[in-house]
Structure formats: structure tokens, C-alpha cells
Structure 1
Amino acid sequence: MADTLKRRIGPVLLTAYGVGVMVGAGIYVLVGAVAAHAGIYAPLAFLLAGLIAAPSALSYSELSTRIPQAAGEAAYIEAGFGSRFLGVIVGLGIVAAGTVSAAAVLRGGAGYFTGVFDLPWNMVIIVFGGGLVVVALVGVLESLALAALFTVIEIAGLALVVWAGWTAPVSPDWTASAPMYVPGIGIAATLAFFAFIGFEDIVNMAEEVRNPSRTLPIAIISSLIITALLYAGVTVAAIRAVPLEALAQSERPLALVYEAARGGDGQMLSLIAVVAALNGVLAQMVMAARVLYGLGGRGGPLGLFHHAHPRFGTPVVATVLVGASVIVAALLLPVADLAGATSFILLIVFAMVNGALIYLKRRLPAAPFRVPTWVPYAGLVLSVLALIVFGIAGQG
């Protein structure tokens, strides 16, 4: 086996990968939960979540050009704080979060699929999961090309939701004057933050990207902007067309928007949601395998993961382990409160990553791509504030 990955990815595919994993992470299911807390101000909650993520995304952009390695966060924290042990712990945490997130999304996608087709749920999970593992093994270009196709379908579905929301009869909640409940909007923003998870996955593709110092920042920033605009449009359409109580209680809120405009049972949106789920699962599998590959480069017991297939140029052992774990977890584990738990873990990582960049900027100011000095400070403060809101919400 070879020990290096193949550089085959350009900015368009990498941006599509980022948009796909973010859209697949939550917008198809999170609108209702966010609306339950923020009411008609749910679009504002999504925009706030994007603002919370933005400084960290900029910090990731600089760090990805300073240290273009597969185990992104682990390498950044190791370089910033001078602790290999801390870097490995964070890297393994990213792998675990990605695996559990993929398992949850796979469960959700299987649920949507079996709601349309009368097939055994367990079989659907195994077939879908196994098929995605094969795609991830064949090659990163093939994986991201399929992810790009899925992303086009996802965005088409969201465009359909926006169209439906603006052609449906207006919900009474849309025209009613409602006071702005700031704590509710804050809690909703921390939930909505889960829907922006994914831009950090981009950096873990660094060793398979052509011209990483240019491509990585373009993909990170572009994917965040595109996703934020999509979310705002979709959420406004949903709030306009569907009563808040119905949105809050539904596990398929965007299908309700389509039904409000066109009638029927929203099966088309359910099938698009399946595609979104598969895209999210594939992206998380690819990401987690690259983090394991990068951690393996540090030697020790994880060294067995630092091998790439000589023909396909993919980390086979890491991909098989991650894929098998995703399938098993999807079959066996409950995934309640996944959005909150995953967001909490990643906010801690974001705080640490911003702190690492602060230290690196002091020691080594020069970098291929630089952001203003205040950016990592803002990312650190916003991540900590979001964690405090999480704590308040957990006690409420």
C-alpha cells in the first residue's frame, strides 16, 4: 500500500462537498425545532448561527493553508498548543462525532425511504451504508463527484420548498405580530448551528486538494455563504406557509411546506431528503476516514490507518472501520439529542482551534492566507458564548 493520497480535487468539487455536508446535516429536519423556540424569527436564528460559525470558518481557512494536513483540527491544536496528546484526543473526538452524526443521518434517511417504500428498515440501512462505503473506497474524486450530484438534487429540493412556500396560502402566524423573545432566539440559534456543521470537514481533505493554499479558503468561505443564504430563504418560506405549531411538531417539516402549496403527501420531498441524508453520510465517512489517516501519520497504535490504496488512493483500513461503525451504530444506537450533543462537541473544538490560531499568529505571523487578528478572538468568544447558552438551555 502507498502512504500518500492522490491530489485530485479542485475548488468547485470541494465547495460542493462543503455545501452538501452542511445541507445534509440538518436543514431538512431542523426547521421545526428552530421554529419551536424562535417562532417567526426562525430565519434570524439561522442567520445568527451562520454569524457564530463565520469567524471560526475564517480561522479554519487560515489554518488550512498553514497546516494542510488530513487530520485538520488535531494538527492545528498540536501546532498551536504544542501538545500531541491533546491533538490526538481532539482528532479522535472529531472521528467519533462524525461517525455518530453519519449514523444518525443514515437512520433518518432510511426512515424517509421506508416511509415511501415498504421495505425492511434494517436492510435499507445495510444496503445504503454498504454502498456508500464502496463509493468512498473507490476514490475521493468519485466520492465527491457523487456528493456533488447529491448536492445539486438537495439544492433543487430546497428551491422547490422556497417556491412552494411563496405560492402556498399565507399562514396566520406569518401575519400576526409576535414579540421578539431573545432567549428563545438564542437557544434556536445554537440548535441551528448544527445545520452549519460541515465547513470544518473541508480541511480534512487537504492532502487530496490541488493548490490547497488557494482552494481550501475558497471552498470554506463559499460553502458557508451559499448555505446561509439557502437556509434563510428556506426558513422564511416555511414560516410563511405552515403554522408554527405544525412545523414544531413535524419530523418532516419541509414536506409540509410542499403539501401546503401542492397538496398530496410530499413523497417527492421525502425522496430528496433521502438523497440529502446519503450525501451527509458519505461526506462524514470520507471526512472521518481522512482524520484517522492523518492521526495514523503520527505513529503509535494508530499507525495502521496511515496507508492509502496504491490504485484508488484512498485510506482503505480507515474507511472500512468508519463505514462499519456507522452501519452498526445506525442499527443499534438511539440518536436522541444528536444535534445538541454534536454541536456542543464541535463548539468546544472551535474554541480550541481559534485559540490555537491566536498562539500561532503571535509566533509566526506569516501565512499563505491570513485573516485579521481579531477574527480568532471573535471565534473564541462566540463559541464560548454559544456553549454558555447550551448550558442554560440544558438546565431549562
Structure 2
Amino acid sequence: MSAPDSQANREHRTVKLRRALTTPLLTLYGLGVTVGAGIYVLVGSTAAEAGAYAPVSFVIAATVVAFTAFSYAELTTRYPVSAGEAAYVEAGFRSGSLATLVGLAVALSGMVSAAAVAIGAASYLQGVIAAPHWVLTVAVVALMGAIALWGITQSVLVAAIITLVEVGGLIFVAVWGFGISEPLGVDFTDMLPPLVGQHWTGIGAASLLAFFAFVGFEDMANVAEEVKDPGSTLPKAIVLTLVIATFLYLATTAAVIVAVPLGDLTSSSAPLSLVFEGAPLAVRQGFSVIAIVATINGVLIQMIMASRVLYGLADQGHLFPAMAIVGSRTQTPVVATLLVMGVVAFLALALPIDELAERTSQIVLLVFVLVNGALIRLKCRGDGGPDHFTVPLIVPVMGALTSLLLLGTAWL
């Protein structure tokens, strides 16, 4: 089936998911998965690779993400459907099998990412609840899965409230690290690397981990069928998510490196809590609660995304029809969500957090290369009308090249 045919079919079929997401809600959705999924968990791992130059790794990752973010902004308005990446690749490359593989890769990246963040959430949670780590991990996955089944409006409202808490937590870290905590780490001027040297190998490797912290903005494409006025809402929410997340990451990472000795930071699975080690007990406990809330939010939103991708693929005829079953009361994809819950729990118990984060980054970067390639082909063929958000051809070209270059750092 050709891309135009599939688009026509999508336009005429009955909408099964509820359109309820506005620009503020969608931006908070993107921030929730982006912020919660990375910065609360992986600052230590990034510092282990890049040392004092960790903030530079976040700048590199943000640059790579920016080009692809604008490509997504155009593609989401061309094809505002669930399993968005699969639809983009099918339209660009006219290959249903490649589209299915891309959709499955996107769903897998969400499940792997959710597993990584679930491990981080359980690590923070152990500071409050004396229970085995694996028990807390499974409990986090089960609770977030139940909320995802509840309904898209309820799920995203819960995630939006949590996002406000976690963003406030990062601002608190930055203020405490720069202004209150004793500076036990490196000086701010030491974060700027020389232009040449072996340190760039470490910065490149750290950029791949830092990229994981930005994974999330593309998830907005996969709830496109639940967005009000997608042509206007999606581009604004994507750009806002990227800009806000970048500023938060730079401020937080710099503050942590100033306040915490690098040796302590690189060995911690709950790195941001180290900023408050000398703080009063009430402050330490308060931040622990914020960190727990922030990390479980990432699990929730990645599970929502993965289930919508599986639903979208099934609804377009690429997967078993059972995956497209939508609950009559909740209007959520029940079978797909239950499958996602099981896979996330298995991965969280089977693999360490650093490996999960790196695999997520690699999968997403491969998807970015194909998505940018699809937009290049669409533009070169002249497909599409003037009624969608448009970017210059150089944007997807740079998006594909920068994604390939960052992906190559895994083999340095």
C-alpha cells in the first residue's frame, strides 16, 4: 500500500483515541519524559566518561537533537498519527516492512528507557523504603502501568503535575549547588575543555549518554492522535521541550560538578542527592521524595509512548490486531500496555542501567537517521502541501549527519 493511500485511509477512519492534549500539557508531557529519564539518573555516568567536561557533552547532545527536533516538527504536522516514525518512514521510503521495523525499534527504545529509569527510581526509593531493589523496581513498573491503563487525560495530567515537581527539583539542585553547598568539586572555569586532546574521546562517549537525557521529545509524535490542533500544537511543544530541557541540564550538571567531588559522583546511581549531603535532614529527605517522583514519571511516559506505538502499528495493519484493542471505558490500548509492562519489568531486572541507557541512545539515533532520511526523500520528491510546518532541506540533512556522527562515538 502506497503512502498516499495509507494517509487517505487514516483520514477517513474513525478516530479511536481521545484528542485531549493542548500545548501546555504536551510540553509538560515531553519535559516529563525528557527530564525524568536522564538528568536524575545519569549525571554520574556522564561525569565518569567526560570528567569536568560533562556539561559540554550535554551541549553536543542538544545540538544533535535540535536538528532532528525540527525535522519531527514538520513530520508530525504532515502525519499526525500514532506510531509516527513508522508512518514517516513508510511515506518517505515507501516500504511497509521498513516502517514496521522502525516502529518496533521506537517501541523497544521506550521500553529499554523505561527499564533504565525504573532502576534509577528504585535506587532513590531505597533511601526511603527498606526493601530489596528488585521489589521496588517491579512495584514502580506495575504502578506506572496501572496509571497508563487508566486513561490518556488522567495519565498526562498526573505526568504534568509530576513534571512541575521534577523541574522544580532541578532548579533547587542548581540553586543549592551554586549558592549554598560547599564547593567540593571543580571550578566553573575548569569545565571548558581545550580545543584538542584525548579528552574529546571521553566527551564523545559521554555525549552518547547525555543524549539519553534528551530522549523524549520524539515521544510527542506518538501521541499525535490525542493532540488538539496537531498542526499548531506539536511544533510549539517540541521546540519548547528542547529549549527548556537544555537550560535545565546545563545548569544542573554544572552545579553538581561544582558541589560534588568527581570521584563520589561517578560511582553513584542517585547522583543528584549528593549535592545535599551536607544539608539538613529535612532538605535531604525532601529532595529524595522529589527524585523518586521525577524518575517514576519517566517510566510512566515512556510506557505510554511504547504502548501507543504498538497500538499504531497494529491499527495500520503491521502487527497483530489484538495490539489495537482499545478499552471501551478508558479508551487506552489495553493489550499493548500490558505487554509493555511485562517487557519493561524483565529488562529492568536483567540489565544494568548504563547498558540500558546506551542501548536506548543507539536505537533512537538509528531511528533519527531513518526519520531524517524519510523527510529528505519527501522534500526531494516534492510531496506534501503548504498546510504543514516546514523546515529547509539542510535541517534533515544535518539531522541525519549529526546522528550518525554521535552514533559512531560508540565505537571509538
TM range (shorter): over 0.9
Show the counterpart of 1:245.
263
Alpha-carbon distance change, 172 to 241 in structure 1, aligned in 2, over 3 angstroms: closer
Q: What amino acid is aligned across from residue 390 of structure 1 in structure 2?
A: A
Answering whether residue 253 of structure 2 is matched by residue 235 of structure 1, we say yes
Matches within 5 A, 1:214-229: 214-229=232-247
SS of the residue aligned with 2:38?
A: helix
Distance 1:177 1:112, change over 3 A: closer
SS class of match (1:92)? helix
3-state SS of 1:115 partner = coil
State the identity %. 47
Match of 1:366 in 2: 385
Measured after TM superposition, the shift of residue 359 of structure 1 is 0.5
Instruction: Name the counterpart of 1:168.
Output: 181
- Whether contact under 8 Å (2:120, 2:353) holds in the other structure is no
Match of 1:159 among 171, 174, 197: 171
1:327 shift after superposition: 2.7
* CA apart distance, 1:177: 5.1
Matching residue of 1:376? 396
Contact 2:123/2:269, CA 8 A, preserved across alignment? no
- Is 1:10–2:59 an aligned residue pair? no
Distance 1:260 1:223 in 2: 32
Moved more, 241-250 or 297-306: 297-306
Contact 1:63 1:76 (C-alpha < 8 Å) held by counterparts:
yes
Aligned length: 391
Tell me, in whole angstroms, the C-alpha distance in 1 between the residues paired with 2:343 and 2:410: 28
The equivalent residue for 2:317 is 299
Residues 312, 31 of structure 1: alpha-carbon distance in 2 compared, 3 angstrom cutoff? same
Distance 1:141 1:177, change over 3 A: closer
Aligned with 1:85 (options 90, 97, 102): 97
> Closer, same or farther in 2 for the Cα pair 1:331/1:147, shift >3 Å?
same
Of residues 130-139 and 209-218 in structure 1, the stretch that sits farther from structure 2 once superposed is 130-139
Aligned partners of 1:341 and 1:325: how far apart in 2? 15
SS in 1 for 2:117: helix
| Residue 111 (str. 1) matches residue 123 (str. 2) | yes
Alignment match, 2:205: 187
Higher mean displacement: 206-215 or 270-279 = 270-279
User: Could you give the per-residue CA deviations for residues 88-120 of structure 1, whole angstroms, max 9, x where no partner exists?
Assistant: 011111112211221222232123212321134
User: CA-atom RMSD, angstroms?
Assistant: 2.1
TM-score scaled by length of structure 1: 0.93
Q: CA offsets, 1:248-301, max 9 Å, x none?
A: 222222111122455789333332221122101110111011101110122265
Secondary structure at the aligned position of 1:317 is classed as helix
Match of 1:212 in 2: 230
Given the alignment, which residue of 339, 348, 359 partners 1:330? Answer: 348
* Pairing 1:356–2:374 present: yes
Letter in 2 for 1:170: P
Aligned residue identity for 2:385: A
Instruction: Return the alpha-carbon distance in structure 2 between the equivalents of residues 56 and 150 of structure 1.
Output: 27
Given residue 44 of structure 2, which amino acid in structure 1 is its aligned partner?
G
Q: Give the distance between the partners of 1:107 and 1:32, measured in 2 at CA.
A: 14
Q: What aligned pairs does 1:284-295 form with structure 2 within 5 A after superposition?
A: 284-295=302-313
Q: 1:262 to 1:35 in 2, by over 3 A?
A: farther
Query: For the residues of structure 1 that align with 2:93 and 2:363, how far apart are their CA atoms?
Result: 19
Kept in 1, the 8 Å contact 2:276–2:284? The answer is: yes
Residue type of the partner of 1:377?
V
Q: Once structures 1 and 2 are overlaid, which stretch shifts more, 282-291 or 295-304?
A: 295-304
Unaligned runs of 5+ in 2: 1-13
Q: Secondary structure at the match of 1:234?
A: helix
Letter in 1 for 2:314: G
Within the candidate set 250, 254, 257, 2:272 is matched to 254
Asked if 2 retains the 8 angstrom alpha-carbon contact of 1:164 and 1:262, the reply is no
Aligned to 1:146: 158
> What displacement does 1:205 show?
0.3
Say whether 1:269 aligns with 2:290: no
CA distance in 2, matches of 1:58, 1:305: 30
The C-alpha deviation readout for 1:195-220, integer Å capped at 9, x for no partner, is 00001111000000010111111111
Q: Distance in 2 between matches of 1:236 and 1:147?
A: 26
TM-score (norm 2): 0.89
What is the 5 A alignment of 1:14-33?
14-33=26-45
